[in-house]
Structure 1
Amino acid sequence: MRFTVTDDDTAAALGSGSLPVLATPRLLAWCEAATCAALEDELRDGETSVGTRVQLEHLAASPVGAELEVTAEVAYADGRLRRFTVTARHVDGKVVGSGEVTRVVVDAERFLGRLRPAPDQGAD
């Protein structure tokens, strides 16, 4: 996936620092987006994936206007679990970030159903 750093993507804008450079939380979001895109064709109707673990090194600064390419490759797969190697590079090839993102494939409705409060059983 390709992204261009905007003012809204900076550490100053996201509250993760005071400089006008790519914020680590935005880099992480882009890496997760790449893993979702990599899994998209494997998902059946009603399925989605959820992130469960992240390890990310932010190795270089990226100013506003910088173009980045973010890739995700499956490093490990076991049943519903997928572990991806992620890499973010400036378009000139300089590595900006790298790490691993683990996702688990889930049934979206069942997953969300677990978050809803149980119906009121009435007063005692």
Structure 2
Amino acid sequence: MTHTVGDADTAAALGSGDLPVLATPRALAWLEAATCAALDLDDSRTSVGTRVEVEHIAASPVGATITATADLVHEDGRLLRFRVAAHDGHGTLVAHGEVRRVVVDRTRFLERVPRP
């Protein structure tokens, strides 16, 4: 998945710092979106994130193009582990790590969510 860093994607905009560079929470969201895009589940199922271990190792300015990738590296029943990476348009590694997801029945999962 490819994204362009905009003003709304910066650390200053998201409150994770005060610089106009790609925010770690946005990089993580893009990496998680790549894991979701890598799945082919029927409409009754979805996946939920359960663990994230990501290093954000390079700054990216507004206007930078970031490509987020996810490779399924382990599957154990409903548990899925993805190796994730984000590179900028110059090929520089911006972030990398692992995201774990669990496949769930959409309806049953939502039925168990407490109501306010």
Q: TM-score, normalization: structure 2? A: 0.97
Contiguous gaps of at least 5 residues in structure 2: none
Could you tell me which residue of structure 2 aligns to residue 71 of structure 1? Answer: 69
Could you tell me which residue of structure 1 aligns to residue 58 of structure 2? Answer: 60
Q: Which has the larger radius of gyration?
A: 1
- Asked if 1:14 is matched to 2:14, the reply is yes
Distance 2:27 2:55 in 1: 10
Could you tell me which residue of structure 1 aligns to residue 81 of structure 2? Answer: 83
Q: TM-score, normalization: structure 1? A: 0.90
CA RMSD of aligned residues (A): 0.8
Structure 1 runs of 4+ with >6 Å offset: none
Trace 1:1-124 onto structure 2 (pairs within 5 A): 1-39=1-39, 41=40, 43-117=41-115
Distance 1:14 1:116 in 2: 27
Identity over the aligned pairs, expressed in percent? Answer: 65
Q: How many residues align?
A: 115
Q: Secondary structure at the match of 2:80?
A: strand
Contiguous gaps of at least 5 residues in structure 1: 118-124
